[in-house]
């Protein structure tokens, strides 16, 4: 039996009310954004509500998504949105 990885993971960038960016990983984007705006998803976004979706990268495996998130979090903010939408 061949095990295949699901490609339903998403890396997302949120634009916070203070214009900062938040990067995260999920497999249910609508629910995750709702949780962020309710103030229950992360300590960082809780203090910067409301948040809006800035960019996403879809159709990733869980491993690919977490590796991309790691890479994005080390980039300057100015490059994050462009990098995510180009790749």
**Contact by Cβ (8 Å): 57, 84:** yes
Q: Is 47 helix (H, G, I), strand (E, B) or coil?
A: coil
The reply to whether CATH 3.30.565.10 applies to domain 9-86 is no
* pLDDT number for residue 20: 96
For residue 78, the Cα-to-chain-centroid distance in whole angstroms is 16
Cα radius of gyration rounded to whole Å, the chain: 13
> What would the pLDDT profile of 28-69 be if each residue is shown by its tens digit?
999 999 999 999 999 999 999 999 999 999 999 999 999 999
Distances (CA, A) of 71 to 23, 27, 42, 75, 84: 10, 19, 20, 7, 10
Closest CA to 21 of 80, 61, 86, 85: 80
Domains of the chain by residue range: 9-86
> What would the pLDDT profile of 12-21 be if each residue is shown by its tens digit?
999 999 999 9
Query: Rounded to two decimals, what is the model's pTM?
Result: 0.89
């Amino acid at each position: 039996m061949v095990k295949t990885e699901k490609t339903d993971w998403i890396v997302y960038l949120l634009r916070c009310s203070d214009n900062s960016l938040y990067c995260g990983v999920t497999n249910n984007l609508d629910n995750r954004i709702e949780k962020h705006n309710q103030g229950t998803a992360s300590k960082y976004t809780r203090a910067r509500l409301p948040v809006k979706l800035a960019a996403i990268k879809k159709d990733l495996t869980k491993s690919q998504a977490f590796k991309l998130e790691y890479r994005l979090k080390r980039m300057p903010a100015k490059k994050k949105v462009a990098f995510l939408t180009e790749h």
